[in-house]
Amino acid sequence: MNHSADIPAPHNGPACPLAIIGIGCLFPKAADKTAYWANIKQRVDAISEVPETHWRLADYYDADPKAPDKTYGRRGGFLDAIDFNPLEFSIQPNILEAIDSSQLLGLVAAREALRDAGYDPASDFARERVSVLLGVTGALEMVIPLGARLGHPQWRRALLDSGVPAAVADEVIERIAASYVPWQENSFPGLLGNVVAGRISKQFDLGGSNSVVDAACGSSLSAVHMAAMELACHRADMVITGGIDTFNDIFMYSCFSKTPALSPSNRVCPFDASSDGTLIGEGLGLVVLKRLADAERDGDAIYAVIRGVGSASDGKGGAIYEPSAKGQVRTLRDAHAQAGVTPRSIGLIEAHGTGTRVGDATEIRALREVFGDSDGRPWCALGSVKSQIGHTKAAAGAAGLIKAALALRWRVLPPTLNVQEPQAVIGEGNSPFYVNTELRPWLHSGPTPRRAGVSAFGFGGSNFHCVLEEYGQNPPACDWAGAPQILAFSAADDNALRQQLSACRAQLANSDAGALRRFAARSRAAYAADAAARLLCVVEQADQLTSQLDAAERLIAAPAEVAGTPTGVWYSRGTRPAPQLAVLFPGQGAQYPFMLRDLACHAPELLDQLQLADATLGETEAEPLSARLYPHSRYSTADQAAAAQRLQATAVAQPAIGCVSLGAWHYLQRFGLQAQGFAGHSYGELTALCAAGSYSAAELYRLSQLRGQLMAGTAGDDRGTMLAVTAPLEQIDALLREEALDLVLANRNTPNQGVLSGRRSEIERAAKLCQQRGLRATPLEVAAAFHSPLVAEASVPFRAALDETVLLPPTLPVYANSTATLYPAGPTAEGDEVRDLLAQQIARPVEFVRQIQRMADDGFNLFVEIGPGARLTGMVGKILADRPVQAIALDSSAGKRLGLVDVARLLAQLCALGVPLQLQPWDAEFAATAVATAEPAPPRLTVRLCGANYHREQTPRPPSDRQLVDARNLPQVQVAPAPVASATPASLPLAATPAAQPAPQHDNLLLLQRMQEDTARLHEQFLAGQASALQALQALLGLQAPAATPPATSPATSPAIPATVAQPAISAAPCCAPAAPVPAAPVATVPSPAAASAPPSPPAAPVSTAVAAGALEQALLAVVADKTGYPVDMLELDMRLDADLGIDSIKRVEILSALQEQLPQLPAVAPDELG
């Protein structure tokens, strides 16, 4: 036997452990971490047909894999569009088309990762030693359209060679080019992969390293490998790492089609015997890493710990894209060596698992070689998130890393889809692996913490494997998925309640799940349980809100004081005392595989009880109780039937029911649920006594297992069986008397339903008699004739076991099945009285009808069933049909709905009925933040952005109706070159002017002197206006301030003017109009006129040459809006051009030039003032 799983590989000592403290991601059908994790747990298939935002199936799809320039893939994983605010990231809207979506969405993912880590980009934290190291494959998608646009010479030649006239060819080329994004100054950085990291570092002012690594589909974990080294060497104190890939255009489909690796069936089935290929997807997955010691010192929340990252190359082998088990084995062992762990301690492998037959088989062989054989039962769950989102290429490793980290944080084993029959290699021999197809709580025992491994392998033999470990210091917490939500409204009267509903509609119109979640949190915080009008509704998805509010309006308008709807809306009006609440616990027969599974994966109270039950009972038939409750896999209908059968055994079913029921009761106490009394049906009485404090949970599980073993007896014994009969109890009693049946009416469940118990022969006779009388009778799958003399012998050893149990009288009323009265309680009660009644209950009939009637007589008017199913709730409704009581079940859908939906409906209904619950614990961590912060203002500008590159909507050009003529058939015409005309302008004739008149008068000279002084003053005002305009322009444009210049001063007073002054000639023709260019011609000589003397005129009125500040601001905003794409109403004068608007010095020159064109009177700005 191969025991290599127990042999630690030689290593250099554990690597520097790293803490995952933040997660930011976008994956198909998941815009954030919460949605991604919820989709994983809920087995959401996020694969869809190719959307037209990417490419048209009609253009490129062909089912024939060999069709040239076509793809046989038509499905994949695509990101939903999100609202992207370019202003938040200082990106001008009109350059969005030039930036690859990986760069844009990378900013969103990085922002979310930093926020999630507790380092909001808007907050103050040390940024100098924060690095950004990402996995990004080579060229980005932007390369494809930009490169295609450069094919116009080939288009032209093809058109001309085909006889298309040149003018038409130009138009066609223009039309083709218009379908591609044009080149501009931002195109070059916009297509570079390394700028994905660069933009993040620049936007968030991070001073550490920033770079990307390309290891094909192993890129994400290659980046994590680099990040680990960066942190281990103390070159950084925090690293944002992971992978980004939004390249899902037809080019990438062609790559995977011609390899060929795409699935012809267009399904991803990792590790399934029918797998035939992969499907590609888009994704961004980023994590924030710190050294574990630093994260603990800084009080960071920690998802999981990275213990080691292994890497190795395949070396020499087959084709460059062919995987090698040899290289993968080295990688796994390297990771285990760095982590200092043995494979035996690893309970989950998030495999590369692409769904290709060869790739999956190779990976399994490598894992089997490293992990060795099991000791008879597989211990390690195997999965691949590619079954849900497709192969996200450079982001694939990050998708798996995040999945594994969240699995460790919340102690669950996530499912893998599309596995009907695992590949044979997985189960050969004593395999340690099983493909986990269902969400299951991660039960764990032993000295080591939970551990997981994540693999990512890339073309070219790039192999990476990461070993993760749970962080043991995390406090117990619920795993909230963001949905469903409880909306709680309370008011003094119905009108006020309607106003709240109207406000809810207005505030959440067209809102997303995040806005709904925040609103719901605030509504619960404001809810008053003692208000006169109360309404609560459960909303599973944001698109359900309107219908739920409509239903709420109808309930308020109805006359009933208490009312509800099947969809989860409850209303009550008026004040009344809090109801008397009794908790009911179900008995055997309520069990089903995976019962309360969602709660076990959500609530630490339930998981803790499962752990305790496993530890208390040990292994039954080589597996713990939890393995019977939540079996490894149910691949087929036969597997599902087998799982139900394995849970049927009495010694398994009873402790299983008790465990999940008690755990659920403890969970509901988190919301302040209190009971005034307890009861159980048959076995459920043991759970009721435990809940009332008679004995511990560990004793409950030990007693439950023993009771089941004693009641079932030994194999081969005929302990009888049971038959359920639907008929009035009086008729059943009459049947027993009249037919002298040696049977017991063991269960009086409702006035019209009972269960007979006795030997098989008598049960068979009773079934025939019922058929003859027209009564419905159903045989029950039980191990014995419970609650009859046939199992009376079990009471003796069970009573002896009770003697060895620390057993106290219950602290609250507990009603007994066999007597329909209370168990002895209070200071005078003795434990032995409780022991006697509980031991005798095994062989006595269950008087459930009398018991419930007695409880109602004692004042209980609200019954809550806690445990699997809702059978007791239905029974109470039939028993007390004529009384004003309510009966509600926790597991009202019996597992058919999401477990948290059932819990939310229970809590909402209880609140509406006046039970004083605390709703604040629902979605507590998120709710606390939402209540403490104001609702964020919606951004003034957003664009819808998905994985495809952004394209502005343009008005389509109508098709040309031009009738084409083959240009090759046109006559050839020789065109002579036109003569070149001289551009010398003709001289303009000067206007004749009158002869100058002498002006010897002294008064005129003095007047001229005053005119010169006025002109000097006007010039001074002009200079001041120019300086003011320049300063305003510099302030608005954020330019560098010029060096200080001395203020302009008026010239000194002119000395005495000579008696005679010659006046210049004045032209009558305008001198600013340009002359039209004409051929050169001889120029006539015109004699210069004599100087003329004009009579003196009064000084001209001052003319304003400075631009008004308001006009300048208005013009500037209009130009900036035109050149950047920002709406004018978004722009504010105090915005920084670089940090806020992303305007660089080149764009500033462009803005300034446009502004000076509009306002030519603006002063010139020197180049060195542009910054």
Nearest to 199 by CA among 146, 240, 166: 240
- Report how far residue 81's alpha carbon sits from residue 635's, in angstroms, rounded to the nearest whole number: 35
List, edge to edge, every strand of the sheet that includes 485-491.
485-491, 533-539, 569-573, 562-564
- Report how far residue 213's alpha carbon sits from residue 1036's, in angstroms, rounded to the nearest whole number: 41
Nearest to 137 by CA among 272, 256, 247: 247
Can you list the alpha helix ranges (DSSP code H) found in 183-236?
187-190, 194-203, 219-232
Q: Choose the catalytic residue: 11, 225, 336, 352.
A: 352
CA distances (Å), origin 54, targets 386, 487, 953: 20, 38, 15
391 included as an active-site residue: yes
- Report how far residue 406's alpha carbon sits from residue 402's, in angstroms, rounded to the nearest whole number: 6
* DSSP letter assigned to residue 1069: S
Neighbours of 784 (CB within 10 A): 22
Residues 863, 678, 817: CA angle, nearest 5 degrees: 100
- Report how far residue 362's alpha carbon sits from residue 351's, in angstroms, rounded to the nearest whole number: 12
- Report how far residue 4's alpha carbon sits from residue 14's, in angstroms, rounded to the nearest whole number: 19
- Report how far residue 1033's alpha carbon sits from residue 1109's, in angstroms, rounded to the nearest whole number: 9
336 included as an active-site residue: no
Residue count of the chain:
1171
**What is the helix (H) or strand (E) element at residue 82, kind and residue range?**
strand 82-84
**What is the helix (H) or strand (E) element at residue 538, kind and residue range?**
strand 533-539
Nearest to 1116 by CA among 1169, 1171, 1042, 1039: 1039
Identify residue 585 by its one-letter amino acid code: F
Q: Choose the catalytic residue: 25, 217, 601, 911.
A: 217
Which residue is it, tokens 């009641």? Answer: 711
Q: Choose the catalytic residue: 54, 336, 391, 632.
A: 391
- Report how far residue 295's alpha carbon sits from residue 494's, in angstroms, rounded to the nearest whole number: 51
- Report how far residue 48's alpha carbon sits from residue 814's, in angstroms, rounded to the nearest whole number: 54
Name every residue whose Cβ is closer than 8 Å to that of residue 763 and which is 6 or more positions away in sequence: 720, 721, 722, 723, 743, 756, 779, 785
Identify residue 118 by its one-letter amino acid code: G
- Report how far residue 89's alpha carbon sits from residue 101's, in angstroms, rounded to the nearest whole number: 14
- Report how far residue 885's alpha carbon sits from residue 859's, in angstroms, rounded to the nearest whole number: 10
The three state secondary structure string of 428-442 is: CCCCCEEECCCCEEC
* DSSP letter assigned to residue 637: H
- Report how far residue 994's alpha carbon sits from residue 394's, in angstroms, rounded to the nearest whole number: 87
Which residue is it, tokens 């062609």? Answer: 254
**The two three-digit tokens of residue 1061, written as one number:** 């002054």
- Report how far residue 530's alpha carbon sits from residue 38's, in angstroms, rounded to the nearest whole number: 34
The radius of gyration of the chain's CA atoms, rounded to the nearest angstrom, is 41
* DSSP letter assigned to residue 461: T
Q: Return the half-sphere exposure (C-beta side, CA atoms, 13 A cut-off) of residue 238.
A: 26
234 included as an active-site residue: no
Neighbours of 967 (CB within 10 A): 16
Can you list the alpha helix ranges (DSSP code H) found in 234-320?
250-258, 292-298
- Report how far residue 903's alpha carbon sits from residue 229's, in angstroms, rounded to the nearest whole number: 46
Nearest to 102 by CA among 53, 55, 143, 74: 143
Nearest to 414 by CA among 461, 483, 484, 481: 481
Which positions are catalytic?
217, 352, 391
